[in-house]
Amino acid sequence: MADLADTSFSGRALRRRTFLRVASATAASSALILAGCGKDDNPNPNPGVTSGQSVFAGNDTGILNLTYLLAQIQAAFYQKVLTTPPADFTADDKAAFVDMRDHEVIYREFYKSALGTSADINLAQGLEFNFTPYTLTTRKGVYEAARTLEDLAVGAYNGVGRRLRNFSYLRLQLKITSVKARHAAFVRDQVEPNSFAGADVITPTGGQAGLDTIKTPVEVAKLLAPLVPVVLVADNLMLL
């Protein structure tokens, strides 16, 4: 895998609009943007895999492959909405989705570069994701789907952080988590004003009370299963 402390990658600047100006500024301070995509990168690469199994190794490589999958799914989701937006989608909605799509494409390409030949074979070839569980024909349905995916991503990143052994990986994933939390707060507020810290995503009691919920790799794999055409096996990551 690539050395994540290496910031010699070439990249492009993100657009910065509305609420995402803060999120973009956070991301731009890290090597993630430098590891981003060039001007000719395809935001929605052609999928190739429609069946099989992905077993995530019980190490940092397995964690990066899981977060690589999350980035692929979210980039594909935002691109799908932008390609065929609901009739009641506004210009501001489209602008926000372009920003979030661009962030996810950068994360996707970053993980692709960092993993290199260590990328899961299915992820490297491209997966055909299934978004039929969501209602994408209305603005409300689109934002509810985005809320589900962003909440899942935040919980997933919270769950894998303590399992990482390489500090460079941890530092960069913490920066991604910060941006994803901003994504989640925004889309949740579009569905229901002031719900960005709703009881469904905040731990109510214990040492984590008041903080975002945590999802284990196995929980993440189970929640992603309806969207992914391959069987996801994350049991090894539970041993870390």
Mean pLDDT of the chain: 84
Residue in the structure block whose two tokens are 């603005």: 139
Query: How many domains does the chain fold into?
Result: 1
In a domain, 4, yes or no: no
CATH number at residue 164: 1.20.1260.10
Q: Is the pLDDT of residue 225 over 80?
A: yes
In a domain, 11, yes or no: no
Helix axes 139-161, 167-191, angle to 10 degrees: 150
In a domain, 211, yes or no: yes
Bridging pattern class, strands 53-55 and 231-233: parallel
198 Cβ contact list (under 8 Å, min separation 6):
188, 192
At 91-129, the pLDDT tens digits run 999 999 999 999 999 999 999 999 999 999 999 999 999
At 143-178, the pLDDT tens digits run 999 999 999 999 999 999 999 999 999 999 999 999
CA 121: distance to chain centroid?
A: 19
In a domain, 2, yes or no: no
Listed in order, strand segments (DSSP E) in the chain are 53-55, 231-233
Long-range contact list for 91-100, CB < 8 A, 24+ apart?
92/18, 93/139, 93/142, 93/190, 95/17, 95/18, 96/17, 96/18, 96/19, 96/20, 96/186, 98/15, 99/14, 99/15, 99/16, 99/17, 99/18, 99/20, 99/23, 99/24, 100/20, 100/74, 100/146, 100/183
Beta pairing partners, 232:
54
In a domain, 10, yes or no: no
In a domain, 5, yes or no: no
Question: What are the backbone angles phi and psi of residue 232, rounded to the nearest 5°?
Answer: -100, 125
In a domain, 222, yes or no: yes
Least confident of 42-46, 70-74, 194-198: 42-46
In a domain, 52, yes or no: yes
Which range marks the domain in which residue 41 is found?
20-239
At 182-211, the pLDDT tens digits run 999 999 999 998 776 776 666 677 876 566
- The model carries a pTM of 0.82
